Amino acid sequence: MQSDEPSRPGSRVDPWRGHYAARAAGMVASEVRALFAVASRPEIVSLAGGMPNVAALPMDALGALMAELVAERGAVALQYGSAQGDLGLRETICEVMAAEGIDGHPDDVVVTVGSQQALDLVTRVFVDPGDTVVTEAPTYVTAIGVLAAYQANVVHVAMDDAGVVPEALAETFARLAREGRPAKLFYTVPTFQNPAGVTLTEERRPRVVEVCRRAGVLVLEDNPYGLLHLDADKPLRALRADAPADVIYLGSFSKTLAPGLRVGWALAPAAVREKLVLAAESAMLSHAVFNQLAVDRYMRTQPWPEQLGNFREMYRERRGAMLDALEKYMPPGVSWTRPAGGFFVWVTLPEGLDSKAMLPRAIQSRVAYVPGTGFYANGDGRQAMRLSYCYPPPERINDGVRRLADVIGAEVRL
Ligand code: PMP
């Protein structure tokens, strides 16, 4: 019901609350976002956010190429462009994906505002309210947000240290079909998963795709971290590489270059790609041309593989600092994953501990993390938390984990 009270400036009463579409009820602030304000206080070691360390970028070179871009191609860079994205950039994107075994055509690439928008567009064109989307448990927090906004019914499937379990996936698809709510999409982050830090093994990859194909479920492969491999000397083969008709692949320059540029993409089977372009057109008319051309120029003129190598070196050192500190300080009964790339470690607490209830005490001890519940659509995850090693330098990571271990130790003793 709408209030009769006139709304005063600054009033918390929303006179329009009776007007919202039903889908707005699913739009709530994620736990990660709510944490950011607190975690950014300088005295707190934030192991919460997944912010890449952009300070390591060659800022002078980036500034120079942006100035050149305006001087040389300003009339194009500052004009409207197409909703599919700049062709030159789409060619570059195909070269980037080739490293993961993907033979993509620029016509099948849609440039998006980060891969987040690709996630939104795919959901918009495939998911009606009540449709079932299957995801790993746990899964990327903002994917849950997008799915909630489109009123999807999210069903989780278990993972182990080798990624999603193909048998569990097949059983879930069969059960959902029997219940009359068959899955439409399987959303997966198979490589260096956010939040679990787990990677789907090479052995399981074809089996997972086959399970989806048999069940008639479209795979949505979200892969922003694939090039940040910290152990292997080359990236893993993407799911999309061997199943171009069954997989929509999402990529991003956010983790390999800069999230502030907001350039990501979807590679989709041709018919799907046409729908995505139409959806993109209605969402934003044209992509930010300047940002696309800046990314493309960066990729074509800068020693990108070397810069990526520097990123890997930095994240490898930070991951080492986190895993060493966990080993050194955590009390018995705490376990964690050992990521082979990406940004995240998933920590499981001893039986009976609640990471959400513990968070205020951790903040008091000047360390922040993300409670596990944010990564489940069904309230699970209380006994777990996500730690990220991408942003603080190694000494801070060590201090943060030590403080966290003290907080957990005190809870265990309670
Ligand atoms: N997918 C996953 C799994 C992510 O971790 C992120 C960023 N945290 C995104 C998508 C969105 O990235 P962007 O929109 O910056 O490309």
Q: Which residues of 230-244 are buried (b: 16+ CB within 10 A; e: fewer)?
A: beeeebbbbbbbebb
The rounded Cα 288 to chain-centroid distance in angstroms is 21
- Kindly give the distance from the C-alpha atom of residue 254 to the centroid of ligand 1, in angstroms, as a whole number: 7
Atom 13 in ligand 1: residue holding the nearest Cα: 114
CA–CA separation, 383 and 351 (whole Å) = 7
Calculate what percentage of the chain has a pLDDT beyond 90: 88
The rounded Cα 70 to chain-centroid distance in angstroms is 31
Q: 40-82, pLDDT tens digit by residue?
A: 888 999 999 888 989 889 999 999 999 999 999 999 999 999 9
- Joined together, the tokens standing for residue 348 give 């499981």
**Res 412: pLDDT:** 86
Largest alpha-carbon pair distance within the chain? Answer: 66
CA distances from 67 to 256, 293, 299, 300, 361 (A): 22, 12, 16, 16, 48
Asked whether residue 5 carries a pLDDT value surpassing 60, the answer given is: no
**From the alpha carbon of 113, which atom of ligand 1 is closest?**
14
Asked whether residue 34 carries a pLDDT value surpassing 80, the answer given is: no
Asked whether residue 375 carries a pLDDT value surpassing 80, the answer given is: yes
**ipTM (interface pTM):** 0.99
- Kindly give the distance from the C-alpha atom of residue 233 to the centroid of ligand 1, in angstroms, as a whole number: 23
Calculate what percentage of the chain has a pLDDT beyond 70: 96
CA–CA separation, 222 and 238 (whole Å) = 10
Atom 11 in ligand 1: residue holding the nearest Cα: 116
CA–CA separation, 157 and 187 (whole Å) = 11
Looking at 32-41, 260-269, 291-300, 381-390, which range is the least confident one? 32-41
Measured from the CB, is residue 138 less than 6 Å from ligand 1? no
CA–CA separation, 197 and 189 (whole Å) = 10
> How many Cα atoms occupy the beta-carbon half-sphere of 166 within 13 Å?
15
The answer to whether 114 touches 254, Cβ cutoff 8 Å, is yes
Q: Where are the beta strands (DSSP E) in 275-376?
A: 335-336, 344-348, 367-368, 370-371
**Res 26: pLDDT:** 79
Mean pLDDT value of segment 211-232 = 98
- Kindly give the distance from the C-alpha atom of residue 116 to the centroid of ligand 1, in angstroms, as a whole number: 6
Mean pLDDT value of segment 347-364 = 95
Residue of 173, 176, 158, 256 whose CA lies nearest to 209 = 173
Does pTM top 0.90 for this prediction?
A: yes
**Res 6: pLDDT:** 55
**Res 32: pLDDT:** 63
Q: 290-326, pLDDT tens digit by residue?
A: 999 999 999 999 999 999 999 999 999 999 999 999 9
CA–CA separation, 376 and 30 (whole Å) = 11
CA–CA separation, 177 and 174 (whole Å) = 5
**Res 146: pLDDT:** 96
**From the alpha carbon of 189, which atom of ligand 1 is closest?**
3
CA–CA separation, 195 and 379 (whole Å) = 15
Strand 163-164 versus strand 183-188 pairing type: unpaired
Measured from the CB, is residue 223 less than 6 Å from ligand 1? no
Q: 117-171, pLDDT tens digit by residue?
A: 999 999 999 999 999 999 999 999 999 999 999 999 999 999 999 999 999 999 9
**From the alpha carbon of 140, which atom of ligand 1 is closest?**
3
Q: Across all residues in the chain, what is the average pLDDT? A: 94
**Res 218: pLDDT:** 98
Strand 263-267 versus strand 109-113 pairing type: antiparallel
CB-based contacts of 33, cutoff 8 Å, min separation 6: none
Helix axes 87-98, 289-301, angle to 10 degrees: 50
- Joined together, the tokens standing for residue 356 give 């959400």
Measured from the CB, is residue 222 less than 6 Å from ligand 1? yes
Measured from the CB, is residue 114 less than 6 Å from ligand 1? yes
